[in-house]
Amino acid sequence: MQILYQDKHLLVINKPSGLLSQPGSLDDSVTHRLQSQFPFLGIVHRLDQGTSGIMVIALNQKALSHLAKQFQFRTTFKVYEAEVFGQLPLSKGHIDLPLRCDWPNRPKQEVHPEGKPSQTHWHCIESSSKRSRVLLIPHTGRSHQLRVHLASLGHPIIGDYFYAQDEALNMSNRLHLHAKQLTIHHPITNQRIHFESKAPF
């Protein structure tokens, strides 16, 4: 697990795929790996276990409160990179489909008219007959939003054990989704700071 930035108030890491953000069913997580080094760890936002990339962690209560409000009120800017199955028909697009929990199959989510509003902008940067590489900007932060939205287009993320099937699932042993860019305000100085991490796939 790589540390991209550190000061007295916050920590920015590059989370590997397969690692939980918070303690759960496994005895390994971002928290487990950092708790011996830092007396206070405030997990501000989470990445799915299969998703790699940038996470910001507060190192005191004041920073946690400030950063949490940024994510709550969507003043942060996030860009993800993914490889999806098949060739996308357009170079860019916008997905506006409401999402809710698929209760019989939780933690899976589903598109449903009674779900919460969910919007994703996508831009294709590379494409072939078997796979396309896309940049994704989520305008909302629903659970599994990017994964469900892309699957709803008929182009699930490669290696997605929840929403991909057959060839799309078997093309990789990991989810091809990476939190590539994050821009926030520093919780103390209020300076706008930007972080970037290259996708490992």
Residues 161-197 pLDDT 10s: 999 999 999 999 999 999 999 999 999 999 999 999 9
Place of tokens 């939980």: 20
Residue 59 lies in a domain: yes
Q: Based on the fold, state whether residues 107 and 59 are members of the same structural domain.
A: no
Q: What is the pLDDT of residue 155?
A: 98
Q: Active-site residue numbers?
A: 48
In a 13 Å sphere around the CA of 191, the CA atoms on its Cβ side amount to: 3
Residue 170: enclosing H or E segment and its boundaries? helix 166-170
Residue 188 lies in a domain: no
Q: Based on the fold, state whether residues 152 and 92 are members of the same structural domain.
A: yes
Q: Based on the fold, state whether residues 95 and 61 are members of the same structural domain.
A: no
Q: Based on the fold, state whether residues 41 and 67 are members of the same structural domain.
A: yes
Residue 197 lies in a domain: no
Give the predicted TM-score (pTM) of the model: 0.95
Q: Based on the fold, state whether residues 108 and 136 are members of the same structural domain.
A: yes
Residue 194 lies in a domain: no
Q: Based on the fold, state whether residues 89 and 172 are members of the same structural domain.
A: yes
Q: What is the pLDDT of residue 192?
A: 98
Residue 131: enclosing H or E segment and its boundaries? strand 131-138
Place of tokens 């199959």: 105
Q: What is the pLDDT of residue 39?
A: 93
Q: Based on the fold, state whether residues 44 and 87 are members of the same structural domain.
A: no
Q: Based on the fold, state whether residues 95 and 67 are members of the same structural domain.
A: no
Whole-angstrom distance, CA of residue 143 vs CA of residue 155: 18
Q: How many whole angstroms from its chain centre is CA 103?
A: 22
Residue 25 has pLDDT above 90, yes or no: no
> Using the 8-state DSSP alphabet, how is residue 171 labeled?
T
Q: Considering its fold, how many domains does the chain have in total?
A: 2
Which structural domain, as residue segments, surrounds residue 142?
79-177
Residue 25 lies in a domain: yes
In terms of Cα–Cα distance, which of 174, 179, 114, 121 is closest to 150? Answer: 121
Query: Rg for the chain (alpha carbons), in Å?
Result: 17
Whole-angstrom distance, CA of residue 117 vs CA of residue 196: 28
Residue 199 lies in a domain: no
User: Are 129 and 120 in contact, with CB atoms under 8 Å apart?
Assistant: no
Q: Based on the fold, state whether residues 85 and 60 are members of the same structural domain.
A: no
Average pLDDT over residues 133-139: 98
